[in-house]
Homo-oligomer: A and B are copies of this chain.
Amino acid sequence: MENYKELAKEKMRKCRVCKECNGIVCAGETPGCGGKGNGSTFIRNVAKLKDVRVVMNVVSSNDEVSTESDFFGKKVSLPVYVAPIGGILVHYGADMSEYDYTKALVDGVGKDSIVFTGDGQNVQALLDPLKAVDDGWIVPTIKPWVNEEMKKRIEMVKTSKCSVCCSDIDAAGLVALKKGTPKVEFKDITQLKDIVDCAGIPVIFKGIMSADAALKCLEAGASGIVVSNHGGRVLQDACSTIEVLEEIVDAVGGRMKIFIDGGFRTGSDVFKALALGADGVLIGRPFSIAAIGNGSQGVRDYLNTLQEELKDTMMMCGCRKISDINRNCVKVCF
């Protein structure tokens, strides 16, 4: 089952495919797959997840465990989604086109999950991946270009039949994207509102790390956010995502969907985020390794593993369906 990891090792020149993917040996390797600067944000994402412990509770019914969830009306097999990653060659040193990469992900997860796709200055970086699906089971993730450009691109992606779109607004801090054309920019509430209005479909803003920013997204009409620090790749010395999740959940109070990414590797990691109030988890690097290593089969294998682990954890913690997972199911030991 871990076969794809061995295969990936041969194909990735910039990722060591460590036994535990924790950001330590690759710290500072950007471009490459490491965290920015001293790498501490990436490392902390992984480390702090370990300080959340699951509470076993076996006195419960023997009903089948279901990990089924809903993503804006689409029924998925588990609330785990593939994070948007582009630049396969640049970041992983792997010879795989963005289309092939996306195709492997999309075919691998089938209708069990949904793939977020990436974007780049060259608009093909946005459009190529979309060709991998024809039924809208995809979430195009657009960079925070100047609004005019963003709106144009939103129109373009809507032809993919997607019913939700996303923008990783923390990419406004990416040095590479501040040069050339178009340029990324930071967005205030007014601009975010403008984008939401233009989209006409639910919009998710990715890169939220505080209650303040979350509430601003809500005010702008967002349908969801992704609590994310871009995998530790846009800012060193930041908080981990898991340690800010709960305060954001509390502030939002159920008024929009809250997803999270950053250092999630296993089904028990996913369980922890759900227990702290997340509606779903995005996973990046491990899916990349699976896709690069063994294509759609690798992706399928990894997704199956995740689902088994999540089921296992739910089963052992007295949860039979996703909505059973609540705050009492974990102890936070930060």
Chain B residues with CB under 8 A of A309: 37
Complex formed: what's the CA distance from A54 to B40 in Å?
11
> Which of A179-229 touch B at CB < 8 Å?
185-189, 192, 205, 207-210, 212-213, 216-217, 220, 229
- Complex contact A188–B60 (CB within 8 A): yes
Closest Cβ of chain B to A227, distance in Å, is 10
Chain B residues with CB under 8 A of A54: 235, 237-239
Closest Cβ of chain B to A178, distance in Å, is 10
Chain B residues with CB under 8 A of A205: 59
Q: What is the copy number of this chain in the assembly? A: 4
Q: Chain A contact residues (Cβ within 8 angstroms of B): what range?
A: 35 or more
Complex formed: what's the CA distance from A226 to B4 in Å?
40
A161 interface hit (Cβ, 8 Å): no
Closest Cβ of chain B to A258, distance in Å, is 15
Complex formed: what's the CA distance from A54 to B20 in Å?
26
Residue of B nearest to A170 (CB): B58
- Complex contact B312–A235 (CB within 8 A): yes
Closest Cβ of chain B to A63, distance in Å, is 8
Complex formed: what's the CA distance from A177 to B203 in Å?
45
Complex formed: what's the CA distance from A315 to B185 in Å?
11
Closest Cβ of chain B to A71, distance in Å, is 23
- Complex contact A207–B56 (CB within 8 A): yes
Complex formed: what's the CA distance from A237 to B205 in Å?
30
**0/1 per residue, A18-59, Cβ < 8 Å to B?**
001000000000000000011010001000001011111111
Binding site for B on A (CB under 8 A): 20, 37-38, 40, 44, 50, 52-62, 169-170, 172-173, 185-189, 192, 205, 207-210, 212-213, 216-217, 220, 229, 234-239, 243-244, 266, 268-269, 272, 309, 312-313, 315-318, 328, 331, 333-334
